[in-house]
């Protein structure tokens, strides 16, 4: 009897236990399935390549093809922009250097001079006297650029000359003059062309052997030249033809006081080789 009651009680316990175990098993299975589904959702993107060679990624918001194209285009656009900017800046700089800047300028110079001279000295009992004058001088041009190639200015010069002829024999003289000038400076090898017209100056030699002391004033004449300008240095060769229209007789020396001393004048013509140092202000 006891065995039968024990058997019935055991079957009842087992029947009650089976639904609980099944329910627990069901929950466990559901939980594991949820985890599996979540893991499946987080799978890595799948990449495919079509026949045209384009790469496409699925399962993700990232467009590999678009991103790759953008990354590749960015540096190329930047390089192209930089190259264009650099080329433009280089071209502008070279064009600017090929021409002189505008504005004021001054140009000190040193010169070596040789000229032929002629003096109308008949009033002093001698025939017209011809000879040469040679020496060295200093000068200064001061002016401004009208444009990048055209400039205007004043050309002032002083020279210590040695005058050799029949009238003076050999005598030193102080010569200075001033001339308005015009010049053109081209961008081709720094070629320059200069022109001036002398309006003011004097040639004052010492007294000759007879004690006659003359000073020649009111010079008029052209000065034409050409040269090269390279960096801070310019070199030019000029031709000058001057006539002194007035003569001041400072001393007649041994010449008779009643002698006629009218129409005494001098002309000089020759070349000057100058080395100059242009400075822009």
Instruction: Tell me the pLDDT tens digit for each residue of 6-58.
Output: 556 555 554 554 554 445 444 444 444 444 434 444 445 555 555 555 555 55
Q: CA dihedral in degrees (216, 221, 226, 227; nearest 10)? A: 20
Q: What percent of the chain has pLDDT over 70?
A: 58
Q: Across 120-232, where does the E strand assignment appear?
A: 129-145, 150-165, 169-185, 191-198, 200-205, 213-230
Distance CA 267, CA 216 (A): 10
Mean pLDDT of all residues in 72-86: 47
Distance CA 233, CA 278 (A): 7
Distance CA 237, CA 112 (A): 10
Look at residue 154 and tell me whether its pLDDT is greater than 70: yes
Give the number of other CB atoms < 10 A from CB of residue 248.
12
Look at residue 102 and tell me whether its pLDDT is greater than 70: no
Look at residue 202 and tell me whether its pLDDT is greater than 80: yes
Residue from 200, 202, 201, 205 nearest 129 by CA: 205
Distance CA 159, CA 162 (A): 10
Indicate the pLDDT class of residue 249, thresholds 50, 70 and 90.
Answer: confident
Distance CA 4, CA 82 (A): 101
Distance CA 171, CA 96 (A): 50
Mean pLDDT of all residues in 219-245: 94
Q: Is there a contact between 133 and 162 (Cβ–Cβ < 8 Å)?
A: yes
According to DSSP, the β-strands at 213-230 and 233-251 are: antiparallel
**By mean pLDDT, which of 112-121, 165-174, 227-236, 252-261 is the weakest?**
252-261
Mean pLDDT of the residues in the chain: 74
Mean pLDDT of all residues in 62-78: 44
Q: What is the pLDDT of residue 78?
A: 47
């Amino acid at each position: 009897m006891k065995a039968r009651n024990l058997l019935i009680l055991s079957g009842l316990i087992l029947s009650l236990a089976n639904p609980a175990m099944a329910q627990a098993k069901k929950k466990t299975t559901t939980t594991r399935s949820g985890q599996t589904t979540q893991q499946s959702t987080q799978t890595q993107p799948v990449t495919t390549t079509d026949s045209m060679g384009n790469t496409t990624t699925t399962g993700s918001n990232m467009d590999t093809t678009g991103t790759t194209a953008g990354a590749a285009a960015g540096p190329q656009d930047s390089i192209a922009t930089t190259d264009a900017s650099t080329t433009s800046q280089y071209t502008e700089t070279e064009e600017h250097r090929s021409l002189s800047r505008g504005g004021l300028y001054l140009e000190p110079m040193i010169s070596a001079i040789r000229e032929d001279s002629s003096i109308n000295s008949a009033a002093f009992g001698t025939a017209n006297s011809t000879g040469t004058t040679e020496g060295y001088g200093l000068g200064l041009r001061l002016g401004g650029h009208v444009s990048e190639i055209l400039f205007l200015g004043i050309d002032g010069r002083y020279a210590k000359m040695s005058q050799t002829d029949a009238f003076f024999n050999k005598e030193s003289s102080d010569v200075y003059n001033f001339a308005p000038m015009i010049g053109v400076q081209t961008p081709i090898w720094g070629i320059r062309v200069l022109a001036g017209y002398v309006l003011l100056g004097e040639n004052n030699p010492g007294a000759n052997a007879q004690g006659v002391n003359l000073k020649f004033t009111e010079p008029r004449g052209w000065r034409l030249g050409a040269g090269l300008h390279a960096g801070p240095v310019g070199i030019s060769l000029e031709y000058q033809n001057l006539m002194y229209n007035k003569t001041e007789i400072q001393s007649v020396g041994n010449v008779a006081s009643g002698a006629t001393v009218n129409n005494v004048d001098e002309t000089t013509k020759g070349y000057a080789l100058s080395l100059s140092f242009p400075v822009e202000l």
